[in-house]
Amino acid sequence: MYGSRGAVSLFATGGVAKASVAVAGAVLLLAGCSSSDGDGEKDKSGAKVSQQPKDKDPYWVNPDGNAAEQVASYAKDGKKDDAELIRKIAEQPTGEWLTPENAEQEARGFTEAAAKADRDALLVVYNIPHRDCGQFSGGGAADGNAYRGFIDQVAKGIGDRATTVILEPDAVLHMVDGCTPDEFHEERYDLLRGAVEKFKSLKNTKVYLDAGNAGWGKTDDITEPLKLAGVEQADGFSVNVSNFYTTADSTKYGKDLSSKVGNKPFVVDTSRNGNGPYTEGDPAENWCNPPGRALGESPTTKTDDDLVDAYVWVKRPGESDGTCKGGPKAGQWWPEYALKLAKATK
């Protein structure tokens, strides 16, 4: 996937920043199965993970996430300093990447847990056919009908609970940059429009169609494709998913694009952009587990910009981009990398 994603891995080809999403590892958290209290906190071996103030950040912090588990593990082992570093990640809400095998069950579990904590769920839908052009997160639904069934399951799981959906990282961008063959474009546009329509039919769901990142190319090239994919019917679009471009560059890109798609607002993934993109290594590999990166702005809806609906952590910091630079499989938790991100954060 080009410069995006949450449980994703990124890669670069032909000078285009790309991102691939790892869909494995979504936590099946059914309401009532978590030991969280009503405020969304969990006590494990003396470690507690708290929700952020709702007026600043309405999104739900998963008390059973990988980072929260790591905090508890470090605390149990007496590694207090490491535990506090990982807490920088654990106490921020991050996107939950739904797996197609359990889409309805996961969507229901995450949204019910969020509602119990009086927060909104942040879900990532990433299952478009021919996903990621066969790269680290290649795959997706077998065909159009399978994808429509998947979307129906997600919608059923969400119900009327407050939810924000990040829709199909890189799906539009890969049609623009030539990664996805032309023969699949017509169906993909139809599937994306249908997904936007389905999620917009839900009472309390917002949907943001992914629109790439500040480093991939010109906004003019993606404007019409986004319209064909239904961005004008969506609540807005997302930028910088799983990528490292600065918030300033991402906002500039988003505003330029917004002016061409009906002044739609957007959200920025700030999960790992604290030090901007990595530029010292091989450009073809700078997307994957780059060294020296840092956490970005904390998630919040208080952006002081009318066009920027929120800073969100779509990518879950500390999860690998792929088997490069000593990393595990894309999407797997990598505590050593998580510690480096936290240590580098000012």
Tokens read off for 202: 């839900």
Q: Alpha helices of 91-228 — where are they, by DSSP H?
A: 103-116, 144-158, 173-176, 185-200, 219-228
Q: Which of 150, 123, 127 is nearest to 139 (CA)?
A: 127
| CB-count exposure of residue 314 (10 Å: 0-12, 13-18, 19+) | buried
| CB-count exposure of residue 55 (10 Å: 0-12, 13-18, 19+) | exposed
**Among the options 170, 235, 249, 269, which is catalytic?**
170
170 is catalytic: yes
**Among the options 82, 210, 309, 321, which is catalytic?**
321
* Phi, psi (rounded to 5 degrees) for 183: -65, -20
Residues 6+ apart with CB under 8 A from 251: 268, 305, 308
CA within 13 Å, CB half, 297: 21
Interstrand relation of 236-239 and 266-269 (parallel, antiparallel or unpaired): parallel
305 is catalytic: no
Cα 289 to its chain centre, rounded Å, is 16
Q: Is 62 left (phi over 0), alpha (psi -120 to 50) or beta?
A: beta
**Among the options 57, 132, 249, 309, which is catalytic?**
132
Helix and strand numbers (H, E) in the chain are 9, 11
132 is catalytic: yes
Q: Which residues are catalytic?
A: 132, 170, 321
